[in-house]
């Protein structure tokens, strides 16, 4: 695999913490927000067009307002000749859990899940990729500083229920030269790629967590996306996030 230049996330967090704006706050109380999950792989020859489509949201006015794209790289194609640097078993398990919850018909890539439901609109014969109508609920506020996250979720209908906060760090602007496998010889652009995902439960609707140090591709731009779900279901209730 061609060497990739990686920089520790901790250095970014140090910069953010010591800059004039030491805390970044994300907030969402909209009822029409959409989280798009793409399950993909650098070893899948049919995935680059789906990733290109997802990457177009970089220039979409809805980004970080009502649309929140994330790309989970799965590891089950690594055996066919190219190991995806961004694939993790936990991301594969997330896709499998959607199938266990009957939100997915099968495990495949590229595969889209929109607000917890399988979405095949991207495969439409006539190019109509209109996202389905969705209704998120509650008010989610997330603050990020110095590698730490604090979050608060308010929803009177779900008070005193166990809820899960999920926090993903994404990288946009990745370029990977693939030297073997189905995409051999291609320079693959990737955006909204999940570098790490951490989850934590709470009965009170409040969370604090420390994100582990990690690495990110040089010249990429980082973002944070956070969402809430009920215990036993990965279906998002509310989502927020933005550029770091």
In this prediction, what percent of the chain has a pLDDT beyond 90?
82
Query: Residue 62 above 70 pLDDT?
Result: yes
* Contact criterion met (CB below 8 Å) for 193 and 73: yes
Helix (H) or strand (E) holding 89: helix 89-100
* Contact criterion met (CB below 8 Å) for 103 and 118: yes
Note the pLDDT of residue 124: 80
Calculate the CA 230 to chain-centre distance: 18
The tens digit of pLDDT for each residue in 2-38 reads: 334 454 444 444 334 333 358 999 999 999 999 999 9
Higher pLDDT, 211 or 127: 211
The tens digit of pLDDT for each residue in 87-119 reads: 999 999 999 999 999 999 999 999 999 999 999
Note the pLDDT of residue 35: 98
Calculate the CA 153 to chain-centre distance: 19
Query: Which residues does 132 contact at the CB level (< 8 Å), separation at least 6?
Result: 114, 115, 117, 119, 121
Q: What is the mean pLDDT of residues 54-67?
A: 97
C-beta atoms surrounding 66 within 10 Å: 18
Is beta strand 67-73 parallel, antiparallel or unpaired with respect to 34-40? parallel
Q: Give residue for tokens 């970080």.
A: 64
| Average predicted confidence (pLDDT) for the chain | 90
Sign of CA dihedral 169, 180, 1, 219: negative
Tokens of 3: 């060497």
Query: Residue 189 above 70 pLDDT?
Result: yes
Q: How far is the C-alpha of 241 from the C-alpha of 96, rounded, in Å?
A: 25
Burial class (CB in 10 A: 0-12, 13-18, 19+), 59: exposed
* Contact criterion met (CB below 8 Å) for 138 and 21: no
Helix (H, G, I), strand (E, B) or coil at 57: helix
The tens digit of pLDDT for each residue in 219-235 reads: 899 999 999 999 999 99
Q: How far is the C-alpha of 104 from the C-alpha of 119, rounded, in Å?
A: 9
Q: Where do the domains of the chain lie? A: 6-243
């Amino acid at each position: 695999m061609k060497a990739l230049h990686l920089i520790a996330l901790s250095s970014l967090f140090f910069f953010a913490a010591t800059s004039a704006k030491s805390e970044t706050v994300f907030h969402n109380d909209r009822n029409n927000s959409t989280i798009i999950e793409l399950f993909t792989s650098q070893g899948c020859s049919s995935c680059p067009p789906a990733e290109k489509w997802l990457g177009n949201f970089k220039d979409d006015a809805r980004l970080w307002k009502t649309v929140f794209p994330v790309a989970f790289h799965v590891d089950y194609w690594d055996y066919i000749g190219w190991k995806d640097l961004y694939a993790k078993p936990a991301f594969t398990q997330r896709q499998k859990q959607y199938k266990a919850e009957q939100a997915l018909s099968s495990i495949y890539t590229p595969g889209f899940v929109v607000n917890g439901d399988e979405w095949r609109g991207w495969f439409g014969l006539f190019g109509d990729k209109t996202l389905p109508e969705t209704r998120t609920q509650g008010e989610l506020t997330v603050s990020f500083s110095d590698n730490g996250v604090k979050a608060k979720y308010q929803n009177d209908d779900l008070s005193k229920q166990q809820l899960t906060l999920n926090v993903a760090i994404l990288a946009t602007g990745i370029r990977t030269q693939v030297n073997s496998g189905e995409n051999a010889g291609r320079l693959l652009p990737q955006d909204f790629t999940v570098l790490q995902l951490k989850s934590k439960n709470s009965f009170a609707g409040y969370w604090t967590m420390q994100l582990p140090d990690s690495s990110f591709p040089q010249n990429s731009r980082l973002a944070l996306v956070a969402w809430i779900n009920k215990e036993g279901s990965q279906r998002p209730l509310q989502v927020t996030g933005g550029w770091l």
